[in-house]
Structure 1
Amino acid sequence: MATWGLEWLEGIAAVWRQPLLYYGALLALAAGWRRVKRERRDFHVRVYSPWKEWRGLWTSGWLPGAVLSAVALGVGLVVPKEVVWMVTALTVLLGLTMEARLLSAAYTLGGTLLVLAMAERGRMAVPWLRDGVEAAPVLALWLTLLLAAEGWLIIRTRTEPASPQLLKSKRGMTIGRQWVQRLWFVPVVLPMAGGSLPSLPWWPFAVGGEGHSFWLVPFLLGFSQRRHHVRPPEAARREGRLVLLLAGVVAVLATGSVWYAPLAVAAGVVAVIGREWIAFSGRRADSASPPRFARHPHGVVIVGVLPGSKAEKMGLSIGEVICKTNGVPVRTEAEFYEALQRNRAFCKLEVIGDNGEVRFVQGALYEDEHHELGLLFVRERGSLASEAVS
């Protein structure tokens, strides 16, 4: 019993030796800094804290991590330590792109399966690669579990705000879009091949010998979306459900690989292709639709609302159109604030909601609030980068 307790303590302490722990923290800080830089460029104001991504990194992955740890310990999904290092190396390389969506388990674990397959095909005489090839079915099962966790986390992002951006459309007009990027640590207790502990009798997988130990591994997952038509909650819900569906398809292949090992590689291929198709199809559908955040003939379109601002307290949200301010029709940001100045103590807005119906929003204004309602609009900017919608 003392040996088990000591191994557990050493396994938990092993998290401090995991490069992903520090790399993920630095990546989240860099992502926050990059986002704030873009917000200031487009709107001359920081919309969200630069620590937003860093805080989200640590807070959302505990529940799926606990579930996956229970599954791993109950079923005995033992992997060689070298495979963990391969996943780590691939995660670091993909993270250098600063594209959070490439940190999907489909690319990190699926890519590792493809590397192992190429190594086996090339008959590379490296002992640890041989252990990795033997563990391919287990790695395919881990791919399934982490894809399921990723889908669940993506669906949960529908309640989190997106960062507004301005850009040039293909027709040369300024439009807005919503940028969602998330990073998550999913801490999982992994049974590792090699160690002083005996394998439990019901564990079906034994890789690299009978003994094992435990490691607490912080898997790094990511997600990003840029949409100019579909609202972020709707887009996240759709993509999350598709990722869960993909996890189900991969699960069938991964389970089959327990009896027929080549299916593990097929699971990796399907995961990579399927995840890329999900991202591509979402972008294509959004690009084929008219931009929601563009100049509107009947008013000014809200592309962003500052957190904690008067506008947020009044219940205004992105995509809505303000057509009248204090009874005065407005078509530009300048006209909006000019009409707002007409009454320094009270504000009444006529707003067209997502359902196309007009509603009235009103509230008292205190000193200087007429200058700082916290609304961000689609507007022309001479210094805007000539980036086109893809």
Structure 2
Amino acid sequence: MIGEWLIECLKGIGRFFLNPLFYLSIILAVVSGVRRMKRERKDFHVSIYPIFHELRYLFPAGLLGGLTLSVIAMAAGFTISFAMIAAATCTTIILAIAGNHRLLSPAFTLGAAFAALYAVKTLGLHLPLFGSAVSQTPQNSLAGFVILMGLLLSAEGIFMSRNSSKSGSPRLRKSRRGLTVGAFQSKRLWLVPVFCLMPAGPLVSHFHWWPVIDWGGHSYSVVLLPFLIGFQQQIQSSLPEEAVTRLGRQIARLGVLVSVVAIAGIWIPYLPVAAAAIAIAGRAWISYRHRVRENANPYYFTPQKEGLMILAVIPGTPAEKMDIKTGELIFKCNGTRIQHKADIYKALQKNGAYCKLDIIDTKGEIRFVQGALYEGDHHELGIITIDEKKKWDGNEAS
């Protein structure tokens, strides 16, 4: 039996690389990196992160999340039909092209797939590629599909919260008064591989309670499915880490609610439909509330009367080594008061090998940082700032 399971798992991993979502995720991550670099260079004349920054975060968090979800899915015996896989893949590809990262929440990708499958089942349609397979889908199998959607929605929220400090790219914007201000585009992709069961295959159940959620068959095969999760929001009225963490917690709680309602749908008809509707409406509402909040509140990253606002810190530079953070305010450098970026250059000329900064942190407390400067270090310490009260120039930002 162990040998049979091992062979099936290896076959399932092989099927993973046949799914177009695996290759689409890589393409989207690379394209996203190229576009970000072009925007950063246009805004700041330097790229903050390397071109493969998005690709770097595509797999690690997703692999850990996928392992956790795989344990849950295999323990419960989730089965997923070819029709479900095809529907989820098609909706993800369409939404990725239509809305880039914005529409790649499981609430939208799997929610749209569920809506299509449920409509076909309710109307009793016979699709050319699937025959009557969809219309004959048992109630608890559709409930299992929505449970998986709820779990992936919770995973989206957890990924956002844990990667909140790494998911933002600075940009310049025009304020309501026509001034140049700073904002963040928080954007991330995660590829989550999850082991599930497909009906028909060499594996059979050895426990009376397993599988809990099944297609209605008696034999199964293993498949490793890639689920693509995306997130994109603009943040301008608060620190990006705080905003993304808040959104992540809201989405994670929504995912738990969807999963609970969907589990009840195994026994109560129409609850899976209600759970899918809650997921779609709830996720859209969270994004809408965030946009309203951002537009109503004042900009966080603006030119200051005293000091220099830090918009971002370039990785690997002296500023990062001195632990300077986004949102902090530099008001002295080597004992000289700072108002503009040029003031830092003048202060460093007093002692080109050493830098001492007086900083007001995001809690309003004063702290002191210092460090040695070496030949070849970034000539601007590696900080991106908002330091001039000037009218918007359309050439500064995209």
TM-score, normalised relative to structure 1: 0.92
- 1:304 corresponds to 2:304: no
361-370 or 109-118, which deviates more: 361-370
Q: Deviations over 1:191-237 (max 9, x none)?
A: 01222333453223332633221101111111223211221221222
Q: 2:95–2:104: 8 Å Cα contact kept in structure 1?
A: yes
Gaps of 5+ in 1: none
Q: Deviations over 1:129-159 (max 9, x none)?
A: 3145743211111112111222221111134
Q: Name the CA shift for 1:173/1:131 in 2 (closer, same or farther; >3 Å).
A: farther
Gaps of 5+ in 2: none
- 1:190 corresponds to 2:196: yes
Q: 1:106–1:147: 8 Å Cα contact kept in structure 2?
A: yes
Cα distance in 2 for residues equivalent to 1:106 and 1:326: 52
Cα distance in 2 for residues equivalent to 1:295 and 1:46: 22
The one-letter code matched in structure 1 to 2:316 is G
Tell me what 2:249 maps to: 241
Match of 1:130 among 135, 158, 165: 135
Cα distance in 2 for residues equivalent to 1:161 and 1:305: 13
Cα distance in 1 for residues equivalent to 2:98 and 2:255: 25
Q: 2:262–2:275: 8 Å Cα contact kept in structure 1?
A: yes
Q: Name the CA shift for 1:385/1:167 in 2 (closer, same or farther; >3 Å).
A: same
Q: Offset of 1:16 from its aligned partner?
A: 1.4
Cα distance in 1 for residues equivalent to 2:58 and 2:300: 30
Q: Name the CA shift for 1:37/1:132 in 2 (closer, same or farther; >3 Å).
A: farther
89-98 or 51-60, which deviates more: 89-98
SS at match of 2:50: coil
The one-letter code matched in structure 1 to 2:152 is L
Q: Offset of 1:346 from its aligned partner?
A: 2.7
Cα distance in 1 for residues equivalent to 2:115 and 2:281: 12
The one-letter code matched in structure 1 to 2:111 is G
- 1:64 corresponds to 2:59: no
- 1:313 corresponds to 2:321: yes
Q: Deviations over 1:313-349 (max 9, x none)?
A: 1221111112223333332223332333333233232
Please report the RMSD computed on the Cα atoms of aligned residues, expressed in angstroms. 2.2
Cα distance in 1 for residues equivalent to 2:118 and 2:332: 63
Q: Which stretches of structure 1, 4 residues or longer, exceed 6 Å deviation after superposition? A: none
162-171 or 336-345, which deviates more: 336-345
Q: Offset of 1:103 from its aligned partner?
A: 1.1
- 1:357 corresponds to 2:362: no
Q: Deviations over 1:332-378 (max 9, x none)?
A: 22333233333323323222221223333333333364723111112
Tell me what 1:10 maps to: 11
Q: 1:148–1:247: 8 Å Cα contact kept in structure 2?
A: yes
Q: Name the CA shift for 1:128/1:171 in 2 (closer, same or farther; >3 Å).
A: farther
Cα distance in 2 for residues equivalent to 1:234 and 1:300: 21
79-88 or 189-198, which deviates more: 189-198
- 1:340 corresponds to 2:348: yes
- 1:28 corresponds to 2:33: no
SS at match of 1:61: helix
SS at match of 1:147: helix
Q: Name the CA shift for 1:205/1:355 in 2 (closer, same or farther; >3 Å).
A: closer
59-68 or 268-277, which deviates more: 59-68
Cα distance in 2 for residues equivalent to 1:373 and 1:385: 21
Q: 2:43–2:397: 8 Å Cα contact kept in structure 1?
A: no
Q: How does 1:24-173 map to 2 (within 5 A)?
A: 24-97=25-98, 99-126=100-127, 127-131=132-136, 134=139, 135-160=141-166, 162-173=168-179
Q: 2:121–2:137: 8 Å Cα contact kept in structure 1?
A: no
Q: 1:131–1:208: 8 Å Cα contact kept in structure 2?
A: no
Q: 2:313–2:383: 8 Å Cα contact kept in structure 1?
A: yes
The one-letter code matched in structure 2 to 1:68 is L
SS at match of 2:133: helix
The one-letter code matched in structure 1 to 2:18 is R
SS at match of 1:338: helix
Tell me what 2:383 maps to: 375
Q: Name the CA shift for 1:373/1:385 in 2 (closer, same or farther; >3 Å).
A: closer
Tell me what 2:272 maps to: 264
Q: Offset of 1:268 from its aligned partner?
A: 1.0
282-291 or 51-60, which deviates more: 282-291
Q: 1:196–1:213: 8 Å Cα contact kept in structure 2?
A: yes
Q: 2:21–2:227: 8 Å Cα contact kept in structure 1?
A: yes
TM-score, normalised relative to structure 2: 0.90
The one-letter code matched in structure 2 to 1:137 is A
Q: 2:58–2:191: 8 Å Cα contact kept in structure 1?
A: yes
The one-letter code matched in structure 1 to 2:272 is A
- 1:215 corresponds to 2:184: no
Q: 1:80–1:208: 8 Å Cα contact kept in structure 2?
A: no
293-302 or 368-377, which deviates more: 368-377
Q: Name the CA shift for 1:107/1:364 in 2 (closer, same or farther; >3 Å).
A: same
344-353 or 288-297, which deviates more: 344-353
Q: 1:344–1:370: 8 Å Cα contact kept in structure 2?
A: no
Q: Offset of 1:271 from its aligned partner?
A: 0.3
Cα distance in 2 for residues equivalent to 1:246 and 1:75: 21
Q: 1:180–1:225: 8 Å Cα contact kept in structure 2?
A: yes
The one-letter code matched in structure 2 to 1:299 is G
Q: Offset of 1:385 from its aligned partner?
A: 6.0
